[in-house]
Amino acid sequence: MKSKSSAPGKVILFGEHFVVHGIKAVLCAINKRVFVTAEAIDEEKISIKSNIGDLELDKNKNIDEINSPLKPFYFLADKLLKEQSEIEGIKISIKSEIPLGVGLGSSSACCVAGAGAISGLFSEKTKDEILELAIDAEKTIFKNTSGADCTVSTHGGIMVYDKTGFTKIESEPNFQLVISNSNIEHSTEKVVAEVQKFKDKNETEFAELCSKESELIESVLRIFKKNEIKELGEKVIENQKFLEIIGISNDTLREMVKVGNKTSFGSKITGAGGGGCIFSLANEENAEETLKEFKNKNYECFSVKIDFKGLDTF
Ligand code: MEV
């Protein structure tokens, strides 16, 4: 018996990091996906194959003793195997279109597609149940996750999210996102821990930034209703300033933001920062020109569209 799922990556448009501290964030799912196939096997094993390596282990291992980026898949398979007695073991294979560790939600998409495919071998689950499993799996590699990335990967589209839940933004804006990759890998967990240190040292400043970010998100939500791309771009630029202050930028990312700002409506880091990607907000008039600017400077870049489907099981 086989079960297949796929789930999209994401871009955080506004509010990364602040969302970990209770503020809202605005995110969208993008048209780059992770595909997971799960298959019931007769051996009492969990066997995982991916383009970043393989992992094969007996069932019932202590999750804290597993040192592999594939750990969330093991967690999901082991947890669901324990809850039943019909299937002996699971073989999992993963294929991804999402560059790894650069802020585009590859780990969350893995957790969501993994939860979808593996749970599909057992009883049927709702999207919300799959999301809950995916967030638990993500916590095995990143304990303090806000849950934002898994949520947008599961439900797709554009959403405003905070730790209490999410609301879909129903407008279908005509923007395009030009992504450029610094090719500096980052660890979300480490960058989030550094922001926590900044907060502990600068409590008043961090509280002020949180309220400014909160105001920014409210105005972004009003701008979405008007579909005013120039105004949205100004908010992108303003949000980048907050990210600079909390220390998640560096010279390469600053240079990339400058390049993007020449032709687009506004550029900012997306995701954890410290490396990874930035996005530039564009439309059909300036997307090509913006891509050209990045290519001329030898940055890896591509444009993405919004994915409205989210988790797909088949
Ligand atoms: C990572 O894509 C986004 C962060 O805000 C962490 C999180 O929300 O869990 C940095």
Q: Which residues are catalytic?
A: 149
Separation CA 160–CA 176 (nearest Å):
18
Measure 141 CA to ligand 1 centroid, in angstroms: 13
148 C-alpha vs ligand 1 centroid, how far in Å?
7
pLDDT tier at 171 (50, 70, 90 boundaries)?
confident
d(CA 120, CA 314): 9
Task: Render pLDDT for 47-95 as a digit per residue (tens, 0 to 9).
Answer: 999 999 999 999 999 999 999 999 999 999 999 999 998 999 999 999 9
| DSSP state at residue 23 | -
Distance 154 CA to ligand 1 centre (A): 16
The domain segmentation of the chain, as residue ranges, is 2-171, 176-305
pTM of the model: 0.95
Range 2-171 has CATH code 3.10.580.10: no
Same fold, 2-171 and 176-305: no
Q: Which is the closest atom of ligand 1 to the Cα of 148?
A: 8
Adjacent-strand bridge partners of 300: 181
Which atom of ligand 1 is closest in space to residue 16's alpha carbon? 5
Q: What is the pLDDT of residues 211-248, one digit of tens each?
A: 999 999 999 999 999 889 999 999 999 999 999 999 99
Give the relative orientation of helices 106-119 and 127-138 as an angle to the nearest 10 degrees. Answer: 130
CATH superfamily for domain 176-305: GHMP kinase, C-terminal domain (3.30.70.890)
Q: What angle do CA 134, 312, 227 make, to 5 degrees?
A: 95
State the amino acid at position 203 in one-letter form: E
